Amino acid sequence: MQHIIENDKLKVVVADHGAEIRSIVRKRDGLEMMWQADAAYWGRTSPVLFPLVGNYFRKTSVYKGISYEMGQHGFARDMDFTCVNANENSLEFLLQDDEDTHKKYPFAFRLTIEYILEADTVKVLWKVENINEEKMYFSIGAHPAFNCDLNTYSLRFELNDKSCHELEANVIANDGSGCLSNDIDKYDLDDGILDMSDELFAKDALIIENSQANKVTLIDENGEDVVAVSFSTPLFGIWSPVGKEAPFVCIEPWYGRCDRVGFGQDLTQREYGNILDVDEVFRGEYSMKFNL
């Protein structure tokens, strides 16, 4: 089932499956802002990444001596959420653990995702509740894909270090593991702007750590802002499928990332992993402001 929130500026469609945004349409001209999941390039639009962002090394984590296998970006994106609250401006979805999730992930949880539409902005709020009698370890992230021409559109980064004019990005290893190498690429920015092309993603996603920026804006061929993604996450990704010249780019705020190649697989020791004490609640968010 799909749910709609809208105002005089935007119409937002969210599905129960994955609690995934499927469409954001600009009302004044009917322009679709989001990638429409053409499987020839990538069959998703804006999946929620939980309880894993990226990949475990060798697809496996170990907790209390037990191994758990889980695919890239976790299982939430492939599960049906329950819409527990809906009105004209907001939607709230809930996912809870079950027997199937326990085969991949050792913890009980409540994951709530809320979408709020305010004028030209869609806010996304995450809440993770630890309902175990022990600490809980997890990651969570976003993966929204925006329609664009990679050869004519660009990205503007609002760097937290105003004196810096380059972006440092960690590089995915070329061994097929989907995990991080020890290499770092540096990109010179012209007034914060990075031009895009298919070649930019030749090594897969750009993984930007250390809170280098908290806002990334997609800019069209006329220099006009299309959408500004704002976040307070410690890292984020920029991605388009390797070698496909796909007509979209993903701007991805993350609380967590893939393992580094060679990591020992201990779930409690993952870099950028999040830890919740008993009965503790994690809250995170990001927003998408569209130029109308």
Q: What is the pLDDT of residue 292?
A: 85
Q: Which fold has domain 2-290?
A: Beta-galactosidase; Chain A, domain 5 (2.70.98)
pLDDT in tens, 83-93: 999 998 999 99
Q: What token pair was written down for 32?
A: 């679709």
Q: Which residues are CB-neighbours of 137 under 8 A, at least 6 positions away?
A: 63, 107, 267, 268, 270, 273, 274, 275
Element (H, E) at 123: strand 121-130
Q: What is the pLDDT of residues 185-216, one digit of tens each?
A: 999 999 999 999 999 999 999 999 999 999 99
Domain ranges for the chain, please list them.
2-290
| Average pLDDT of the chain, as a whole number | 97
Which residues contact residue 253 at a Cβ distance below 8 angstroms, ignoring those fewer than 6 apart?
A: 141, 142, 229, 231, 233, 236, 286
Which SS3 state, helix, strand or coil, does residue 41 take? Answer: coil
Helices (H) and strands (E) in the chain, counts: 1, 25
* Digit-coded pLDDT (tens) for 142-189: 999 999 999 999 999 999 998 889 999 999 999 999 999 999 999 999
Q: Hey, what's the torsion of the CAs at 231, 205, 141, 101, to 10 degrees?
A: 180
DSSP codes, 199-230: GGGTTS-EEE-TT-EEEEEEE-TTS-EEEEEE
Claim: this prediction has a pTM higher than 0.85 = yes
Cα separation, 25 vs 41, in Å, equals 21
CB atoms within 10 A of CB 284: 19
What does the radius of gyration of the chain's CA atoms come to, in whole angstroms? Answer: 19
pLDDT at residue 163, as a whole number = 83
Residue 45 neighbours by CB under 8 Å, 6+ apart: 20, 21, 22, 23, 34, 35, 36, 37, 144, 145
pLDDT digits (tens, 9 = 90+) for 250-292: 999 999 999 999 999 999 999 999 999 999 999 999 999 999 8
Spatial separation of the C-alpha atoms in residues 3 and 71, rounded to whole Å: 28
